[in-house]
Structure 1
């Protein structure tokens, strides 16, 4: 413990009438959310809106304002060892997120040992009194020197990158999309939600009667003219390909059908859907602790890609990241270690991919590898290992060595780290939304936004400008 970290208390014997202390504290939206979690008080006046609508700023609960007094009493005066006995507060001016508060205490009475009484005030920056009154405490009897120990970190959803993507995509005309066999509530509701947000113009390919029945339970706008009847999965996949062949649709969305069935129809040599690129899947991950989207490939299509396949996997991921507004994406090619090891083939592939990007064989991004997961996304880890790189610690794209690693990485982020995931299959003539049956409506909505942005980028060569006034999760 350094001298700067040390905090020494004031015992009852050392206290003097008139002794005072103060701190400053800003009120944030996170304070209100955490206070609601701790107390169970979900009064809507005290919480940000959760529907994205612009409303007046929420106000801080009065007891949150009053609780700030304990930070001065417990940390500074009298400090460590202080126990609250009672308090009597009046609350005046309301506190809102963004307000800077001055919390002040002054000793006004020493009673029978160890009792002391403090006058307390919480002032806003303009001098308005938010809280005033008296606190009675049992002051410490022994000197204690404590450290300014940091509290454990809490994970809050500070960023909502999907909301930005969805808002950008909504600025475009709806993308004509073939939705293959949406005969369950999840897949149909996701397609209808994307339609309601203006992201897609659907052609619902599947059993007409069942889709009409499910639509009645979803509660989203529905038009039976959107339906193209099909008798089975094979016919539905074929119809989707046929619609894109003649330009009636420019994207495909997976419904309640197996991924292999859709991909088989797309790669069929008679379908005309293949390009010179290997098809690959790219996850877009919205993680609550990251200040950027994270793209992961390939976690769903290529099982054990060779070097040639990885070139296309990297290029497809770069193209999608650029379509989402990242001007020059940073690509980290992952392995178990960050140095080339001839016994680990993925490190050799990573080094070659990095050099190919240097020579212009992979375009539009900065590629580096091999990188381990920690030093690809964490700047401190990269510095600790002495890695000098334009990518290390700040990767936008992570390239997995094989499907097992990519799939486990994406699902760990989703199911353990509370990230949200959306994704596309790229490399064909149109983007394919290969959503999982476990995906919720928001994932399907974000996948639709990715498809619309990618379609626009392919047609124009530029990304859609960011939409203004996007509300983050923390401000919803």
Structure 2
């Protein structure tokens, strides 16, 4: 098996892809891969042993794109659809029928895909709030960073954040992190009654103390600098197993998360894999701006999440 195309400084992603390839292939319903970028990403992930794509979209259009760009799709199953909304609906149906363990976004709008996922009639919701995580590979930082939620929940409530945090912790364990250190971010590291994000951070930490959030060590409120920089935490005299060492960053709202993730991408050279959790299967969210490396990493993340869910189901059945 050939190695993935390497990007200088992204060793964390290379290791992630290799680990997922070792875990085995998962079937993925690729919703509307109707441009060369989304189709190539799915086919390359298949070549690396990460996924077996089920191509859901207008068959004639997908074949034309494959021919025009020299992409071999001859061995992949296809499900025909009329248009992008139909592709989203049928990708969800493939999952419901047991034909896939994950969904991958193709060249359709995120709202179209998520609308099918959360549909009360035909969707694949669970009791858990659906949320998004970026897995950021920052070349200058020793650990990968999970940032949530920068794409789905616009202004999450405290109740929403309980699920957002739990989704991120479960993801971290699926990725193989032995110790999940969660920083609840705000603009400051002290509780201020005038800043609601500091009150919610304190509440989330106490909820973890009471077993309402499990599997991780929480601290907050923390400002970004003293969440990821040991020096900043020491200067502020913050004594905590999380401060300066966080590997999960929970932002106050979508705007903060989006700005943080894009700042890391465009100013620090980070790549970002994207995954949506809280549905019956992981959902791979990518955009045209994503590098091939980031697309492959997103597939690798979904692969590891699906593998962890299979292990949990096997344990529960015994």
TM-score, length basis structure 2: 0.94
Which residues in structure 2 correspond to 1:48-447 (within 5 Å)? 158=9, 160-223=11-74, 225-447=76-298
SS in 1 for 2:153: coil
**Cα separation, partners in 2 of 1:52 and 1:197, compared to 1, 3 Å:** closer
Contact 2:4 2:48 in 1 (8 A): no
> What's the offset of the Cα at 1:52?
7.5
Q: Give distance in 1, aligned partners of 2:241 and 2:187.
A: 19
Preserved CA contact (<8 Å) 1:322 1:329: yes
**How far 1:227 sits from its partner (Å)?**
1.9
SS at match of 1:171: helix
Q: Secondary structure in 2 aligned to 1:285? A: strand
C-alpha distance in structure 2 between counterparts of 1:178 and 1:405, whole Å:
31
Are the counterparts in 2 of residues 241 and 265 from structure 1 also a CA contact under 8 Å?
yes
The gaps in structure 2 that reach 5 residues or longer are 314-318
Q: Which has the larger radius of gyration?
A: 1
Q: Report which of the two has the higher share of helix.
A: 2
Measured in 2, the distance between the counterparts of 1:288 and 1:428 equals 31
| Higher RCO (C-alpha under 8 Å, 6+ residues apart) | 2
4+ long deviations beyond 6 Å: none
Aligned residue for 2:316?
Answer: none
Q: Distance in 1 between matches of 2:190 and 2:67?
A: 57
- Determine which structure has the larger strand proportion and give its number: 1
Report the TM-score, using the length of structure 1 for normalisation.
0.63
Deviation by residue 1:306-335 (Cα, 9 ceiling, x = unmatched):
000000000000111110010221000000
| 1:225 shift after superposition | 4.6
Aligned length, in residue pairs: 310
8 A Cα contact 2:188 2:221, kept in partner: yes
Structure 2 vs 1, CA of residues 386 and 440 (structure 1 numbering), >3 Å: closer, same or farther?
same
Q: Distance in 2 between matches of 1:336 and 1:253?
A: 34
**Contact 1:244/1:250, CA 8 A, preserved across alignment:** yes
